[in-house]
Structure 1
């Protein structure tokens, strides 16, 4: 919990024998970049994740809003479970969504056209899309209104606010739901969940970890249900390295 100043403490050392680790990607393992394809993945990161997974007996998973194929590209060398598209697609477990949601291509075309007209960035995703307003924050209200209208016309999708962006994701899927499914896998069963994330999209998963005997680690500034905080992805990576070296 927060101390008397409202500052959250740093997380305790990871217990490799008792805990399961779930990690967001953007803003958590890697720094946010001006565009989604401009992120820099440290060369050693996939190997660190692979080695840490081995020490955890396989109880490490990546849980992200990114498309699964992007995660696999950025983290080549890590072969553990991955969940993409906020839980709609996965590697290392039964795919949560058997088919793409109805109306996907039409929704993506509308989002791309809106972004072009507004001078904003459209991010294509395998199960949805996002409009980023980082380049023009004054358009936030306009983007949010467009997304709400689009979701109202495409019932298989839900609005997902994110950092300087608004996303349309498949309805009924979420990161906390992904944690619940992952925790049923043999590698994760009986372990305390530890989740690290930076965005509003991560808050349900952070709460899930707190509510199921583990804890959450908020990366960066902002209100969070997580008990612990680290200021930046570099600090999270150092925490992971400390677990390997301990």
Structure 2
């Protein structure tokens, strides 16, 4: 920590010859929006990622809880590695989950029905679904209790807490697990993992990067395993743009 402010410092400049870069999407590359489909993508973001991937010889991946098809739609112009659904699906490597659990449709129907009955926002995902309570944070306990009942009924899925949301995702997948798989690819060999994320879903990956001779960058407020900190997604985008300009 910084001795004067008590806050963690900003990260050092990215090393294109020695670092590997892993980036969360919502709340990290882009600002959180009221609805998942309402995020605003800075016009040059896909191009910055494409240039960075080239500078890093392909050692860059977007790692998100979002469905892969959504990431591809939002980041058209970036053709590099992407991991969606907390590591369950991927572009540029063998998908970790070859097919969804057999009871996916039933789980999604339960989530959608509860959201409709309770006036909540339901987000369908490729291998699960999420209930958002950002519009009414007082509903958190109620949503979490419902998610717990579903996890008991559908043991192939696990609860994934997130910012103002609760998600059911395939059991056994996580962002740190995604990093462990990605770093086995040839382009990541000998490079230090650098992970940037903002949410509780990112903490295992931030800790993984710190434990494997790299470092984490926490975006926004809250305690974190990450060594470094940036206040907002725009600060991370500025950091990335500076690496492209070097």
Tell me the TM-score normalized by structure 2. 0.98
Equivalent in the alignment of 2:102: 102
Q: Following the alignment from structure 1 to structure 2, what is the Cα–Cα distance between the partners of residues 3 and 23? A: 28
1:86-136 Cα deviation digits (max 9, x unpaired): 000000001100111121000000001111111110000010000000011
Alignment of 1:162-177 (within 5 A): 162-177=162-177
Tell me the TM-score normalized by structure 1. 0.98
Q: Does residue 42 in structure 1 map to residue 37 in structure 2? A: no
1:12-61 Cα deviation digits (max 9, x unpaired): 00011000000000000000000000000011000000001000010000
Deviation for aligned residue 1:5: 4.3
Equivalent in the alignment of 2:8: 8
Equivalent in the alignment of 2:30: 30
State the 4+ residue runs in structure 1 displaced beyond 6 angstroms: none
Report the 3-state secondary structure (helix = DSSP H, G, I; strand = E; otherwise coil) of the residue aligned with 2:17: coil
Alignment of 1:59-78 (within 5 A): 59-78=59-78
Q: Following the alignment from structure 1 to structure 2, what is the Cα–Cα distance between the partners of residues 171 and 245? A: 41
Report the 3-state secondary structure (helix = DSSP H, G, I; strand = E; otherwise coil) of the residue aligned with 2:116: helix
Q: Following the alignment from structure 2 to structure 1, what is the Cα–Cα distance between the partners of residues 155 and 195? A: 30
Deviation for aligned residue 1:190: 1.1
Deviation for aligned residue 1:244: 1.1
Deviation for aligned residue 1:7: 0.6
Distance 1:2 1:147, change over 3 A: farther
Distance 1:157 1:2, change over 3 A: farther
CA RMSD of aligned residues (A): 0.9
Equivalent in the alignment of 1:214: 214
Q: Following the alignment from structure 1 to structure 2, what is the Cα–Cα distance between the partners of residues 65 and 72? A: 13
Corresponding residue pairs, total: 246
Q: Following the alignment from structure 2 to structure 1, what is the Cα–Cα distance between the partners of residues 135 and 211? A: 37
Equivalent in the alignment of 1:183: 183
Deviation for aligned residue 1:4: 6.0
Q: Following the alignment from structure 1 to structure 2, what is the Cα–Cα distance between the partners of residues 4 and 226? A: 19
1:61-92 Cα deviation digits (max 9, x unpaired): 00000000000000011011100000000000
Equivalent in the alignment of 1:58: 58
1:125-181 Cα deviation digits (max 9, x unpaired): 010000000011110000000001100110000000000000000000000000000
Q: Does residue 121 in structure 1 map to residue 108 in structure 2? A: no
Q: Following the alignment from structure 1 to structure 2, what is the Cα–Cα distance between the partners of residues 165 and 124? A: 13
Alignment of 1:131-170 (within 5 A): 131-170=131-170
Equivalent in the alignment of 2:232: 232
